[in-house]
Chain A
């Protein structure tokens, strides 16, 4: 029986061998055939030599989460060969370089071996040893084009695009593709029962790294200062910002730039620059990951207390400490929401797709200006560093930047007495002024020490308490500004619900479909921000039991919900995966299904309506 557009293919390579572009080309080719793909780079913290994998989930149904069990393995790394062979499902296909003999003891009689003498084929066709090495990857893509029916024109078209302007490279690359394809056509059974066919399932979607989308959002949102320190997996945010800012923000006449990027000496300096710039009226942001967030703690407390906007994009990786720097997790949540000593709370936005990365970057710049406080965007490696299918990016040209409450010179002329921290409008937010705005009015002293409404130092207990309470009022105001949750409730409501956030979105639909086959039906809510809007707490209220799916050990979102929402802990059941790979639908289904069985909860089919 032929299975179309529904399989997992995994490429096992050696880091630094040039496999990334070939593997990317493969995924993009599938995508261009209109078939949804979820791609995952599983790579080591290393430049050259260690094993790396590239996993592609091909799914007509649009299930883009990770799935255990590999259908087709392209095993190009001798070091991991045993483990790669073992990861194949029974009946799977093993493509390998048959130029040299393989260890016999690892052979599996329940998988189909597909030997392609890749090195040998290249030996006779190319003289340059570097090309012989690089084109290995292209040859297996060529072989796959015959084996699983990749449209060959799509592949050659991509080669032409990729090497546009370097035409000399097009011919040898296409030749390498042909070497693989012709070998497969001449000597192998084609196509395999697991194969591709053209589809319309992709629609108008794009395939983009979340970090690229985040950076574009910062360009569109009007960030003019970007200060950063390199750290995996956030680095490409700043690098993409630089690329697009150079393209869109270079003055055509003078060649000068309408932005400033500073690679700081560490994360402390990066956030310090952001705060300095925002204090002086520019929109500024930084991007980092867990260790950087820890270092930024003191400054985040200053920005919270002195009320200075700042935008921080945290592309999370597996902690604690250096943890697994090239693996994904959602374990920075607590340290982001409550970053810094003293009583602090920070606004956090949690994107699930590149489109949301784009939107939230721009939104965060508005929200930070409006609330005069740091806004932290919680992305992760899964979303940030993989090419993820997404709705196309859209900008509303009528949109104006919300610079928040700022008194300019003419405003200052009108008002009698300026007080930086006077709550004029009753929403907990005062009016600020930019340095240099007015010759005699509006200047104030910004400090991390306690102060009164007029920014004068004070240790008066009442004034201090009033100020801290006003910051809480501002936190309440924040609820009206942050993105609302994404809720799916059936009518009538199901008795049970599931909460999730961020990249858990990717396997969620598949999880729900799997659970439905177990007779378990759940209402869903995807949290998109902290502080929680009332609808989040109502959702929990309206269900007998709510699962919270997270990618960390300690159920951090659950802790924050219990803490901030005064939720009965017995009502919220943690479902936590924290192995560092992206969370899989089977895991979520397994945990929830087991909970139903253990606690003898009624399956939906048994509930009398």
Chain B
């Protein structure tokens, strides 16, 4: 960790967003993770994404489980409420929080141990329920806080720092999210802010369950030769499918500037998500195709990154449950309590 606290002064040239706020207004307290940790880059990307979206910094909930990844919500959005809950159970806490107030943006932070091992059940079910949130897994393939045990996302045959190979099949969270009906699935790399920031922005604005698997190397235990989650390995084996750019509602959509095909997707708030295809045979609206592509590439040793799947017309859990527009936590006696008069026929029905 770093012991140098950044001074709370604003650089005069810091970019100001539509709310007149700078990136500093979206930061949290100082990270206690190891210097160079990929997770800190993810936190920085979240800060940038939220600032650029001009969402008031207190209108988020940040919910996590347990582990290195789950410590990170203290390191961004200091004006928001955060909840560092129980190992593997972030999804249920996030579900409850979202049911209580549909108007807040929910960021869930988890790790590969937190999601793919102890939290596998809850992960599967939150995907099914389409909770409106951005679920990020800081995926480093290792248990950092307990000093370097393999996690379930580690590739078979990859080695630990001490050289022992992983003997078991990996769990690919992206494939599972696709299979269980996530309506926004992306994968990125903590070292690639250019790709990660637009992905997070789009995920936050997506109405429904958005999942981003971020390969985030562990500098202490999983950044050596033989690891498939190291900086070097991921840089060498990446295959981008779809790049996402984000265009705020008031910005004019300019002419095509990227090679290949381009597609503009309208987001619920009127903004536009611009997709650029890098792989010729890739269709981000084809769930089954995406699943096949990701798995085929995985067999070829390639880590597919980018926006893998998007259903822009998706609905979220509140739409499924048909809840009222007012957040449930704002309802009082008048809305909730039927009153004594209503008990008369109830009592009569039990006589």
Which A residues form the contact surface with B (CB < 8 A)? 31-32, 206-208, 216, 219-222, 224-225, 227, 248-249, 251, 254-262, 264-266, 268-282, 284, 298-299, 302, 392-397, 400-401, 433-440, 443-449
Given the interface contacts A258-B328, A260-B323, A266-B121, does A277 sit within 8 Å of B350 by beta carbon? no
Cβ-defined partner of B79 (8 Å) among A222, A251, A394, A439: A439
The residue that B89 contacts in the complex, of A269, A435, A436, with Cβ under 8 A, is A269
Docked CA distance A260–B61 (Å): 19
Tell me the bound Cα distance from A276 to B101 in angstroms. 10
Q: Does chain A have a CB within 8 A of B251?
A: no
Closest Cβ–Cβ distance, residue A164 to chain B (whole Å): 12
| Contact A445 B94, CB 8 Å, known A222-B336, A225-B328, A257-B321 | no
Give Cα A575 to B151, complex, Å: 52
Complex: how many Å from CA A268 to CA B347? 35
Does residue B125 face the partner (Cβ distance < 8 Å to A)?
Answer: yes
Smallest Cβ-Cβ distance to A400: which chain B residue: B333
Residues of B within 8 A of A248 (CB): 338, 342
Residue B115 lies at the interface, judged by CB distance under 8 Å to chain A: no
A-B contact pairs, 28 of them (CB 8 A): A206-B347, A219-B337, A222-B333, A225-B100, A227-B96, A251-B324, A254-B324, A258-B323, A260-B328, A265-B125, A269-B122, A273-B95, A276-B96, A277-B99, A277-B100, A278-B100, A279-B93, A280-B101, A282-B328, A393-B343, A397-B340, A435-B81, A436-B104, A443-B79, A444-B81, A445-B84, A446-B85, A448-B84
- A278 CA / B328 CA spacing, docked (Å): 11
Instruction: Tell whether, in the assembled complex, residue B99 and residue A392 are in contact, meaning their CB atoms are under 8 Å apart.
Output: no
- How distant is the Cα of A265 from the Cα of B121 in the complex, in angstroms? 8
Those of B48-85 within 8 Å (CB) of chain A: 56-61, 63, 73-74, 78-85
Residues of B within 8 A of A264 (CB): 92, 125
Q: For the A-B complex with A256-B324, A258-B335 known, give 13 more contacts whose Cβ atoms are closer than 8 Å.
A: A32-B351, A206-B347, A207-B350, A269-B122, A272-B89, A280-B329, A299-B86, A436-B61, A436-B101, A443-B79, A443-B82, A445-B73, A446-B81
Please indicate which of the listed interface residues A266, A280, A443 has the most CB atoms of chain B within 10 Å of its own CB.
Answer: A280
A269 with B92, Cβ < 8 A, contacts A222-B337, A276-B63, A446-B82 known:
yes
How far does the alpha carbon of A446 sit from the alpha carbon of B322 in the complex, in Å? 30
Q: Which residues of A are found within 8 Å of B93, using beta-carbon distances?
A: 272-273, 275-276, 279
A166 and B98 alpha carbons, distance in the complex (Å): 42
- A392 and B86: CB pair below 8 A? no
Question: Which B residues touch A438, using CB under 8 A?
Answer: 58
Chain B 315-338, CB-CB to A under 8 Å as 1, else 0, gives: 000100111110011011101111
List chain B positions with a Cβ less than 8 A from chain A: 56-61, 63, 73-74, 78-86, 89, 91-101, 103-104, 121-122, 124-125, 129, 318, 321-325, 328-329, 331-333, 335-340, 342-343, 346-347, 350-351
Nearest opposing residue in chain B for A264, CB measure:
B92
Given A258-B335, A264-B92, A279-B83, are A435 and B101 also a contact pair (CB < 8 Å)?
Answer: yes
A298-B86, A299-B86 in contact; A276/B92 too (CB < 8 A)?
Answer: yes
Return B87 CB to nearest CB of chain A, in Å. 8
Query: When the two chains form their complex, are residues A302 and B340 in contact, meaning their CB atoms are under 8 A apart?
Result: no
Instruction: Name the B residues within 8 Å of A222 (CB-CB).
Output: 331-333, 336-337
B329 CB to closest chain A CB (Å) equals 4
A436 & B59 in contact (Cβ 8 Å cutoff): yes
Does A443 lie within 8 Å of B80, measured CB to CB? yes
Chain B residues lying within 8 Å of A266, measured Cβ to Cβ, are: 121
Q: How many A-B residue pairs have C-beta atoms within 8 angstroms? Tell me.
A: 221
Query: Of B82, B89, B96, which one neighbours A284 at CB under 8 angstroms?
Result: B96
B127 to chain A, nearest CB (A): 11
- A38 → chain B, closest Cβ, in Å? 15
Given A207-B350, A225-B328, CB of A276 within 8 Å of CB of B73: no
Chain B nearest CB, measured from A580 CB (Å): 27
Query: With A276-B63, A400-B333, A436-B103 in contact, do A448 and B328 touch (Cβ < 8 Å)?
Result: no
A270-B91 Cα distance, complex, nearest whole Å: 11
Given contacts A207-B351, A395-B340, A436-B59, contact A258 B95 (CB under 8 A): no
* A448 contacts B86, C-beta separation under 8 Å: yes
Across the interface, which residues of A come within 8 angstroms of B332, CB to CB? 222, 401
Complex Cα distance A29/B324, Å?
42
Given contacts A260-B321, A392-B347, A400-B333, contact A268 B89 (CB under 8 A): yes
In the complex, what's the smallest C-beta–C-beta distance from A80 to chain B, in angstroms? 31
Instruction: Please give me the 7 A-B residue pairs with the lowest Cβ-Cβ distance, nearest first.
Output: A276-B96, A272-B92, A282-B100, A281-B329, A435-B81, A277-B96, A280-B100
Q: Are A224 and B329 in contact (CB under 8 A)?
A: yes
B122 touches A272 (CB 8 A): yes
Given contacts A277-B96, A277-B99, contact A220 B122 (CB under 8 A): no
Chain B residue nearest in CB terms to A205:
B351
Bound complex: CA A433 to CA B328 (Å): 16
> In the complex, which of the residues B82, B92, B124, B336 contacts A273, with contact meaning CB atoms closer than 8 Å?
B92
A208 touches B350 (CB 8 A): yes
Contact of A276 (CB < 8 Å), options: B57, B97, B351 = B97
By beta carbon, the residue of chain B nearest A216 is B346
For B321, the closest partner residue in chain A by CB is A260
Q: Contacts of A299 on B, CB cut-off 8 Å?
A: 86, 89
Residue of A whose beta carbon sits closest to that of B339: A397
Q: What chain A residues lie within 8 Å of B322 (beta carbons)?
A: 255-257
- Please, how many angstroms separate the alpha-carbon atoms of A241 and B94 in the complex? 22
In the bound complex, what is the Cα–Cα distance between A100 and B325 (angstroms)? 64
Q: B73, B122, B329, B342: which has the most chain A beta carbons within 10 Å?
A: B329
Q: Are A225 and B347 in contact (CB under 8 A)?
A: no
Q: Which residue on A lies nearest to B94, using beta carbons?
A: A276
Residues of A within 8 A of B60 (CB): 435-436
Q: How far is the CB of B204 from the nearest CB of chain A, in Å?
A: 15
What chain A residues lie within 8 Å of B351 (beta carbons)?
Answer: 31-32, 206-207
**What is the CB-to-nearest-CB distance from B177 to chain A, in angstroms, rounded to a whole number?**
16
- Whole-angstrom distance between the alpha carbons of A253 and B96 in the complex? 26
B61, A435: Cβ atoms closer than 8 Å: yes
Q: Complex formed: what's the CA distance from A217 to B140 in Å?
A: 47
* Chain B residues, Cβ within 8 Å of A448: 84-86
User: Do the beta carbons of A224 and B331 come within 8 Å of each other?
Assistant: yes
- Determine how close the nearest CB of chain B comes to the CB of A417; give it in whole angstroms: 15
A254 (CB) vs chain B CBs: closest residue: B324
Cβ of A372 to closest chain B Cβ, rounded Å: 14
Instruction: Pick the most buried of B85, B124, B325: most chain A CB atoms within 10 A of its CB.
Output: B85
Q: Which of A262, A400, A433 contacts B95 (CB 8 A)?
A: A262
